[in-house]
Amino acid sequence: MAETATLPPAPAPAGAERLPVRNLDELMLAMDVVDTLRHQENLVSRELDEERRDFELLERLRRIYKGQGIDVPDSVLREGVRALKESRFVYTPPPPGFSRTLAMLWVERARYGRRLLALVLLVGFGWLAYQFGVVRPGEQRAEQARIEERQRAERARVEEQRRVEEARAQAERQQRELTELLPRALEQGHREVLDEAKVDEARERANRILGNGRAALARSDAAGASQAIADLETLRNALRREYVLRIVSRPREPTGVWRIPGRNPNARNYYLIVEAVAPDGGLVGVPVTSEEDGRTDTVSRWGVRVSQAIFEVVGRDKNDDGIIQRNILGDKRRGQLSVEYRMPVIGGAILTW
């Protein structure tokens, strides 16, 4: 039996009331119908007139849902077609703008939040690395440099203060030496020389040294005053020295020697070898100047120049029995500066032979 199709009633004019959807199931079916229609665009595009298109849409929808075993009332199908025409259940995105941007950011807050958190953590890690790897060590080095600079400045200040104090103390010592110590030592040395001196030569030399020392003190010459004091001490020691000049006559030791002077090859200089013997038998060191090279040294044995006659007399005395009977050449008594010779001497001495 042929299937007859009846046209659906004409669509309600604009402003007509829509058929109410009785329950949630019908609402869901209507939404499904719209979705099916939206995915079946060729169902709409090939129809020419609106009434024929609506009829074909309803028929096709019946076959689709019947094939799926779903019983959909015609009222729901017509409501779905009407909703498709009115673009219901279709999301139309809002136009671009600041509000839409904010909304999109809010919707995607989880994803952007993770990125932002990662960026913050990365920036924070970089900042911490820069602070602890660059800034803090730099600050520590700068602080250490400042500390070392302060320490150097403090050491320099302390050193400068020490130098100033030492200079002040040195100046005070020098002033005290010039005004107290050196004058007292100079006068005392002069008195000691006068107490020992038994000859005018020693007194005159002591007075001359005292005058030099006082002149040095007057011009604040501490070194000159000290030298004068040392000269007085040397003169005093010379006056206190006491010994005899004994001619050496021990076996395998020369008693006398002769030299040919460099300036006169035809002449001879004769010397007796003597030693300075103290009253207690010990040897005494005496400053002696060599006439050969002008060198002065403190020795206890040296050669004294004599004439050839005296040299031969001493030689014969030793050759008689190997002993020199007159073995004392001279005496140096306390309080005197020079030796009193018991035999004639020419003067002059040698230190080596």
User: Which of 61, 63, 4 lies closest to 29, judged by CA?
Assistant: 61
pLDDT band at 10 (very low <50, low <70, confident <90, very high): very low
Q: Decide the pairing of beta strands 328-332 and 301-306.
A: unpaired
In the numeric block, the tokens 């839409």 are attached to 100
User: Which of 248, 312, 318 lies closest to 277, judged by CA?
Assistant: 248
For the cut 80, the answer to whether the pLDDT of residue 3 exceeds it is no
Residue range 222-235: mean pLDDT, rounded: 94
10 Å CB burial of residue 77 (0-12, 13-18, 19+) is buried
Contacts of residue 232, defined as CB under 8 A and 6 or more positions apart, other chains included, come to: 186, 189, 190, 192, 193, 206, 209, 210, 213
pLDDT tens for 270-307 read 999 999 999 999 999 999 999 988 999 999 999 999 99
- Angle of helix 74-85 relative to helix 24-39, nearest 10 degrees, comes to 60
pLDDT band at 11 (very low <50, low <70, confident <90, very high): very low
At residue 175, the pLDDT reads 86
- Angle of helix 50-67 relative to helix 74-85, nearest 10 degrees, comes to 130
Segments making up each domain of the chain, as ranges: 24-85, 109-240, 243-350
pLDDT tens for 150-176 read 999 999 999 999 999 999 998 888 888
CA atoms within 13 A on the CB side of 310: 23
Compare 72 and 255 and report the one with higher pLDDT: 255
Chain-wide mean pLDDT for the chain?
A: 84
Q: What are phi and psi of 256, to 5 degrees?
A: -150, 155
Q: Decide the pairing of beta strands 286-289 and 269-277.
A: unpaired
Report, in this order, helix, strand and coil percent for the chain, each rounded to 5: 55, 10, 30
Compare 83 and 265 and report the one with higher pLDDT: 265
At residue 17, the pLDDT reads 43
For the cut 50, the answer to whether the pLDDT of residue 200 exceeds it is yes
CB-CB contact of 241 with 280 (8 Å): no
292-299: long-range contacts, CB 8 A cutoff, minimum separation 24: 292/259, 292/350, 295/351, 297/351, 299/351
For the cut 50, the answer to whether the pLDDT of residue 1 exceeds it is no
